[in-house]
Structure formats: structure tokens, C-alpha cells
Amino acid sequence: MQPVEATPFDREEMLERLGGDTVLLDDVLGVFLEECPKMFEEVRGAVDAGDPRKVHRAAHSMRGALLNISAGPAAAEAKQLELLGSEDRLAEGAPVLERLRRAVERLQQALAEQTAG
């Protein structure tokens, strides 16, 4: 039996925070979709460089952006990388980075469907 995956983002929670403004919701999601690849590459580059301070900073920024759009699963993975950076435990970073990549991919697909619909 396959584990049930969490929804990539909580549209209703985000919409509530935006006062029900669906136009603003679409705008925010559009901006996020544009910026997300850059944010992920910054995190990946910091992990690849083995720079714990940069990993912490980049993962923290990405987590904040993910939380702003109510993307809990991807934010949880970013938080793990943030923690690994702050504790200088980057040897454990590769599998967490891969989980973040997969979570971001699912999120981007869900958001693209959301903004297209």
C-alpha cells in the first residue's frame, strides 16, 4: 500500500489569509512559480558547495516563501535543510535536498494546474 502524500499546498488557507481575493491569489502564485526555480537552485548550489551558512540562509528564505503560499510539505523539507545548515550537518543534506526537489516538483505541478484552472 502506497503512503498517502500530503496536498502540496492548502489553497483554502492561503485564500483565507488573502481575504478571499482570488485575483491576488493567482498573482501571488504566479510570482512564486517564477521565483521558485531560482530559490531551489540557490539552495542546491549552497548544498553542493558545502557551505552551511549559505544552506541555512537559502533554505530559510525558501521556507518562508513556501509558508507564504501554505505549502507545508515542501516547507517542512526546507526547514530540515535549514536545520542541517545551522548545525553544520551537510553530510546529511543530499537526501533532504532530493525530498525538497520532489516536494517542489509536486507543488509546481499543483500550482500550474491551479493557475491554469
| Domains, the chain, with CATH or none | 11-111 (1.20.120.160)
Q: Which pLDDT tens digit goes with each residue over 75-93?
A: 999 999 999 999 999 999 9
Query: Do 56 and 18 touch, CB atoms closer than 8 A?
Result: no
Q: Which three cell numbers stand for residue 70?
A: 501554505
Confidence of residue 15 (pLDDT cuts 50, 70, 90): very high
DSSP 45: H
Higher confidence at residue 33 or residue 5? Answer: 33
Has residue 1 got a pLDDT over 70?
no
Among 47, 69, 72, residue whose Cα is nearest residue 59: 47
Kindly tell me if the per-residue pLDDT of 107 is higher than 60: yes
- pLDDT of res. 112: 84
Q: By percentage, how much of the chain surpasses pLDDT 90?
A: 88
Taking 50 as the threshold, does the pLDDT of residue 13 lie above it? yes
Span 62-75, average pLDDT: 96
Give dist(CA 64, CA 58) in Å, integer. 10
Write phi, then psi, for 2 (nearest 5 degrees): -75, 140
H or E stretch including 57? helix 52-68
Helix (H) or strand (E) holding 88: none
